[in-house]
Structure 1
Amino acid sequence: MDHHDRPEQGPACSVDLSHRVRRHCPVGRGPEAVVVDPGRRRAYVACSRSDAVVALDLDRGVAVWTAPVGREPIPVILDLPTRRLFTADARSDTVTVLDADTGSRLTQIPVGAYPAGLGHHPGLRRVYAGNTADGTVTAIDADRLVVVGTVPAELGAGSIAVDTRRDRGYSANFMAGSVTVFDADALTPLGTVAVREGPCKVVPDPAAGLLYVASSLHGTIGRVSLEDGTVLDELPVERAPVGMCVDPSGGRLYVCNRGAGTVSVLDTRAGRETHRITVGNAPGDCALDPATGTLLVSNAGSGTVSFVDRPWLPGPAQPAVHPLVGRSLPGFALPDLRGGRIRTSREWAEKKYVINFFASW
């Protein structure tokens, strides 16, 4: 086929009944974002290391088609009126548009440098791309598929949230430790909210009047008022939260903890974590199937999508902490990679040093 590959039946989904995880379905390398189409019973997954989008049958858990896009697609959104998929291709500086039913490529739109996030306002017929290296937001007409404007943000602009009730957009600026607020219609900046360092995901909850901000560096979720931009509080989660989705009917927020391989379930009314769900390696993002209540989690490190039944209910107790956690570094002597020189733990005794595990997933 010209524009996409229709794969043979892929590997069978492995089954894990712990934490009510129904299945882990292989999709491709580096799956990041996932979006659900409950009417057509499909999910669409952006596989960043495969440079492709994969369509999954929600009921059978098998791939329907795989479509190539630009290099390193991170987010994916679905525009239902046109049945078009949009991906931001970070290393191609483009937004690719696909036919959601067939996977055929419709066009590819140049945007700013390293677009890593997308936002969507169906009413205004707009798609917004957060350009990380430029510190800007590009606005695209969802019907005509042309760029209609650019909003200045700050360095590290990526994830975009849209409050459709107030016609406001929010850009998470990872490097600047801020969120830029802009008019989603006029495309003018309205102000900046200072947040924790490393905000990498923003999600609106218009029903609760809140914007959730995931700080991957601090392992926290900030709660910001959509009305006036006040930072209300922070909720601790596990390591490196990078993806989130809101249950609009149940007062819950699901948070993908990339560094821990878990999803934290937060009670947004009580402002606390109720339990955690063990999924695959390096979960990147999640989405709810409103027809069944199933939570879909894209696992970048496993190349899978986890299907979690009744995710609002606690599963089995988490395993105990390893007995070595918190204890002193044991002695060792090992050859290094430069000439085989023997290095021992005594070299670092009584010294301060930094071990860099950044992006270890």
Structure 2
Amino acid sequence: MDHRDPAAQGPACSAGLAHRVRAHCPVGKGPEAVVVDAPRRRAFVACSRSDAVVALDLDTARPVWRADVGREPIPLVLDRPTGRLFSADARSDTVTVLDSATGTRLAQIPVGCYPAGLGHHPGLRRVFSGNTADGTITAVDADRLEVVGTVPAELGAGSIAVDTRRDRGWCANFMTGSVTSFDAASLRPLGRTAVREGPCKAVVDPARGDLYVASSLHGTVSRIRLDTGALLGELPVERAPVGMCVDDVRGLLYVCNRGAGTVSVLDTATGRETHRIMVGNAPGDCALDPVSDTLLVSNAGSGTVTFVHRPWLPGPPPPTSHPLVGRRLPGFALPDLSDGRIRTSREWAEKKYVINFFASW
């Protein structure tokens, strides 16, 4: 089975002037979260429609093992000290724990209703589950594999980002357009920050001290200051951003645009998009392998994971739009074919309309 993308092997790619799509690896139905274990040369993908987690070899871009979990696994986190992989199974209301080396199931822990997000604080030895239907956050001990507490959030609680420097967690609440902050040690709720509609992914940028929240229904990424919780502004991206990861070494934010089949690359210093990467259908999440300089993108609509080599370099420029796009409609006057009456563009001023131009031959 050939994993290479022939379209990505152009002169610019071979000359090392642009990112290169290295492979499209089939994994299963509805891949969502992707996690990288660079030292062990493994990546792990939650296949939500296959009810399974798949391990990939980072160097060959091929599957290593497949493990059944609960129904509809969406997020994943890896606890590197123990080598345990945690999968939140949304339709089973459980968190499944796997041995990341073999895929062996170690435990299945009941949490709240429809867990759709996970966060991890390795120092405090805790994994946090965002329970969408309950509007709560469940804290799980990463060593004893048992629930140690619950934090109130809001309806649609899902993706959880953890600021390990401040021992603070941030939970995106999809239904209420907000982010709940909480103390990761005491499990006390600390505050609420309003964001745009449909927040479904939160990630921490430790280098800049910022939190990024992707609002899928609004096509923006909100930037929040970690030390104050203040909303700093919004970064526009393409349609339906649902997944993100941060390259804090190069100062880049990668945003998966589910509705466009692309990944937006944003400069975290300026907030500007530097370029876009074409991937598969309905990209769900992404993660970086710093060893091979590769970005892994899960494509829920394609059932694949795309391996993008050197993703910080821009690829070929996107097609340019026609120069008339965005300009005002020029005035015109033409006879109506039905009765010969002269119709002008002024009749449709300030209205929405569709014009069908056609040839009469």
TM, length-normalised to structure 2: 0.86
Matched, 1:79 2:70: no
CA distance in 2, matches of 1:61, 1:143: 31
Following TM superposition, by how much is the alpha carbon of 1:14 offset from its aligned partner in structure 2, in angstroms?
3.8
Following TM superposition, by how much is the alpha carbon of 1:207 offset from its aligned partner in structure 2, in angstroms?
1.6
Equivalent in the alignment of 2:140:
140
Equivalent in the alignment of 1:107:
107
CA distance in 2, matches of 1:251, 1:206: 10
CA distance in 2, matches of 1:131, 1:311: 33
Q: Give a deviation string over 1:242-298, Cα, whole Å, max 9, x none.
A: 000000211000000000000000000111111000000000000000112200000
SS at match of 1:280: coil
Matched, 1:17 2:8: yes
Contact 1:136 1:150 in 2 (8 A): yes
CA distance in 2, matches of 1:228, 1:219: 24
Matched, 1:121 2:112: no
SS at match of 1:260: coil
Equivalent in the alignment of 2:201:
201
Equivalent in the alignment of 2:179:
179
Equivalent in the alignment of 2:302:
302
CA distance in 1, matches of 2:62, 2:321: 35
CA distance in 2, matches of 1:308, 1:132: 32
Q: What is the letter of the counterpart of residue 134 of structure 2?
A: D
Alignment of 1:60-71 (within 5 A): 60-71=60-71
The alignment's C-alpha RMSD in Å is: 2.0
Q: What is the letter of the counterpart of residue 61 of structure 2?
A: G
CA distance in 1, matches of 2:253, 2:242: 13
Equivalent in the alignment of 1:312:
312
Change (3 A) 1:351 1:104: farther
CA distance in 2, matches of 1:118, 1:321: 40
Q: What is the letter of the counterpart of residue 3 of structure 2?
A: C
Q: What is the letter of the counterpart of residue 105 of structure 1?
A: R
Equivalent in the alignment of 2:225:
225
- Give the greater-gyration-radius structure (CA): 2
- Percent identity between the two aligned chains: 77
Equivalent in the alignment of 1:273:
273
Matched, 1:240 2:240: yes
CA distance in 1, matches of 2:84, 2:182: 25
Q: Give a deviation string over 1:143-174, Cα, whole Å, max 9, x none.
A: 00000000000000000000000000000000
Structure 2 stretches of 5 or more lacking a match? 10-18, 330-349, 353-361
CA distance in 2, matches of 1:256, 1:169: 22
Which ranges of 4 or more aligned residues in structure 1 deviate by more than 2 Å?
A: 319-323
Equivalent in the alignment of 2:34:
34
Q: Give a deviation string over 1:29-54, Cα, whole Å, max 9, x none.
A: 10001000111101000000000000
CA distance in 2, matches of 1:230, 1:310: 33
Contact 1:12 1:25 in 2 (8 A): no
Equivalent in the alignment of 2:250:
250
Alignment of 1:137-176 (within 5 A): 137-176=137-176
CA distance in 2, matches of 1:173, 1:117: 10
Following TM superposition, by how much is the alpha carbon of 1:321 offset from its aligned partner in structure 2, in angstroms?
5.1
SS at match of 1:193: strand
When the two structures are aligned, how many residues end up with a matched partner? 322
Structure 1 stretches of 5 or more lacking a match? 1-10, 329-349, 353-361
More deviation, 312-321/250-259: 312-321
Matched, 1:216 2:216: yes
Following TM superposition, by how much is the alpha carbon of 1:319 offset from its aligned partner in structure 2, in angstroms?
3.0
Q: What is the letter of the counterpart of residue 66 of structure 1?
A: R
CA distance in 2, matches of 1:62, 1:322: 41
Q: What is the letter of the counterpart of residue 8 of structure 2?
A: L
Change (3 A) 1:322 1:283: farther
SS at match of 1:318: coil
Q: What is the letter of the counterpart of residue 93 of structure 1?
A: D
Q: Give a deviation string over 1:311-343, Cα, whole Å, max 9, x none.
A: 1110001134599x99x9xxxxxxxxxxxxxxx
Following TM superposition, by how much is the alpha carbon of 1:204 offset from its aligned partner in structure 2, in angstroms?
0.6
